[in-house]
Amino acid sequence: MSENPPKVLITGASGQIGTELTHALQKRYGASQVIATDLRPQESGAKEDVQFYQLDVMDKEALTQLVKTHQVDTIYHLAALLSAVGEKVPHKAWDININGSLHVLEVARELNLKRVFIPSSIAAFGPSTPLDNTPQDTIQRPTTMYGVTKVAGELLAEYYFKRFGVDCRGVRFPGLISYTAPPGGGTTDYAVEIFHYALKGENYTCYLKEDTSLDMMYMPDALEGCIQLMEADSDKLKHRNAFNITAMHFTPAELTEAIRKHIPDFTCTYEPEEVRQGIADSWPNYMDDSAAREEWGWAPKYDLDMMVEDMIKNLRAQHQ
């Protein structure tokens, strides 16, 4: 960490990533250095040391004023509609995911902010992308509105860096697994939901086929990756944004078996849903993240068994 820690604003701070990233950044830089914002009001029972403001990223004037008031120099822009939700309201997904990002980039340009984080996703790929060991630089023809917005977001970030010098960075997240915040309407939500059913002693009905392989990551690794990239030496970054990062890849059947090592009676059945199965089939089985490893030292810690053990340990208290 530098001697002068950044003053950070997070959009979408009440979401799956934002909830935990807020506390991770507070721990790293100090509570006074982090401003959390979200369209939704702050939930009752939230930690009192969190500086929270209700903010709609579509309101550029309000975003600008908040950045000025708190002398923010770094934005983690997480506000977005995810894949499954985006297919239900594609126009809204485009508006929030693209125009919201454009507002953040414009504020960064106008106020000469130090750094911006705008994440992408494995959804930025498509059925014509190589499914195995998906390259960092490859064809991207997504078949969902969420994926389209992610590709456009990658290009916007690249444009603002080359045209205006905005230091915008990001990663292509795989499916994320967390015991703290609920999933937000993505295609990989099953990998969180399944634990709650297992701990309640109930059968889980998975909406994907049992052999659907997808890249996944445990939230502690995801948070570390975000912060590590944002603190990386700018001169060492060749790609700047949209880095492939991954930690593990597995199928619903493989996750079920890993859970059964701890909860032997757990059962899972499969009733694939057309929309989410179609989305999953268009995504990579696993990505090549060598660029992230080489350029800024990406190195995840959790594999499947370690993740499952930690999830069950932390979720068990919620089900007692």
Catalytic residues: 146
3-state secondary structure of 203: coil
Instruction: Using DSSP bridges, classify how beta strands 243-244 and 171-173 pair: parallel, antiparallel or unpaired.
Output: parallel
Cα–Cα distance measured from residue 93 to residue 87, given in angstroms and rounded to the nearest whole number: 8
What single letter denotes the amino acid at residue 78?
A: L
CA distance 88 to 122: 19
Distance CA 68, CA 197 (A): 45
The structure tokens listed for 38 are 């979200």
Write down the number of H helices and E strands in the chain. 12, 16
In three-state form (DSSP H/G/I as H, E/B as E, the rest C), the secondary structure along 209-227 is CCCCCEEEEEHHHHHHHHH
| CA separation for the pair 79, 27 (Å, rounded) | 22
Burial bucket for residue 201 (CB in 10 Å: 0-12, 13-18, 19+): exposed
Give CA–CA dist 228/224, Å, rounded. Answer: 6
Q: Is the dihedral of CA 103, 104, 108, 109 positive or negative?
A: negative
* CA–CA–CA angle 115, 117, 287 (5° rounding): 135
Residues 23, 223: Cα–Cα separation, whole Å:
10
Q: What separation in angstroms does the CA of 159 have from each of 43, 117, 138, 156? A: 36, 14, 18, 5
Per-residue tokens: 82: 């995810």
The two beta strands, 214-218 and 248-250, are antiparallel
